[in-house]
Structure 1
């Protein structure tokens, strides 16, 4: 299968291209009753992440997090708090179609705490190739980008929102 869109994430890389845009996104930090964290494996870069997506016109950040979680995983969640706002210029994302660069983005992400209220695992093939509930002790076994890992680590260790 040939992927139309490819994503390349840079972190603290002086060779990263200069951003051409900044766009808001929302992610959701969801744990189940056993304390496991909801992760999905992205279809565009094969890295593990928490459900995340861009804020669309006409929706709130909270609505974005709920929608993206359902679209990417099949699970229904409700927002119950804030992990933090993450906007480090150390994170740059390049979106490509074939050999052509479409966008170089410096993300602004609002990471929300959410709780599972229903649904079942149903990965959307264009978004996620796998979905797993992962014990935090095993996170090091998963390829997670440092920018995403910072959100996860903060969500696991603090109830106070972080603004970066």
Structure 2
């Protein structure tokens, strides 16, 4: 799984110590209401598209970049649906990270859904009723909040 160069540079200094990183996630829906999910290579579980922001990168463009890089799909952002913090995540190589995540709801506008990088094993569309049971807990929260169809973003109060 590729690690952004700025994270690799930090890791050369801090080893596996916990890093606090900013991330984005995207709940992509098509015109039929289906949801775009990826099966992650690092844990084998289904998840919404997500990724790390590069230094200085705006969350909106980063979200669209991640959707395109991971799935080959083009999307249009509709709104922010939630802002949350993950628990600490320990990766197979021993690295530990925790993420501040800004989640967007997006509408599919083009492209064919397919694995487009080495971060994912599968990419597929699911109806909300057919979401896989092995969805990551953070993705379950993000889907729940995005599909409420309320104008305000959710965050811990």
TM-score (normalizing by structure 2): 0.83
Answer yes or no: is 1:70 the counterpart of 2:68. Answer: yes
In the other structure, the counterpart of 1:149 is: 140
Q: Which runs of 5+ in 1 are unaligned?
A: 6-18
Q: Aligned partners of 2:49 and 2:2: how far apart in 1?
A: 20
User: What SS class does the counterpart of residue 125 from structure 2 fall into?
Assistant: strand
Would you tell me which structure has more strand in proportion to its own residues? 1
Summarize deviations over 1:17-68 as a string: whole Å, max 9, x none. xx72211000111111111111010111111011100000232001110000
Q: Aligned partners of 1:127 and 1:86: how far apart in 2?
A: 22
Answer yes or no: is 1:96 the counterpart of 2:92. Answer: yes
CA RMSD, Structure 1 to Structure 2 (Å): 1.9
| Contact 2:26 2:63 (C-alpha < 8 Å) held by counterparts | yes
User: What SS class does the counterpart of residue 92 from structure 2 fall into?
Assistant: strand
Cα 1:33–1:93, aligned 2, differ >3 Å: closer, same or farther?
A: same
Q: How many matched pairs?
A: 142
Q: Aligned partners of 1:58 and 1:124: how far apart in 2?
A: 24
In the other structure, the counterpart of 1:108 is: 100
> Hey, which bits of structure 1, 4+ residues long, moved more than 2 A?
none
User: What SS class does the counterpart of residue 157 from structure 1 fall into?
Assistant: coil
Would you tell me which structure has more helix in proportion to its own residues? 2
TM-score (normalizing by structure 1): 0.79
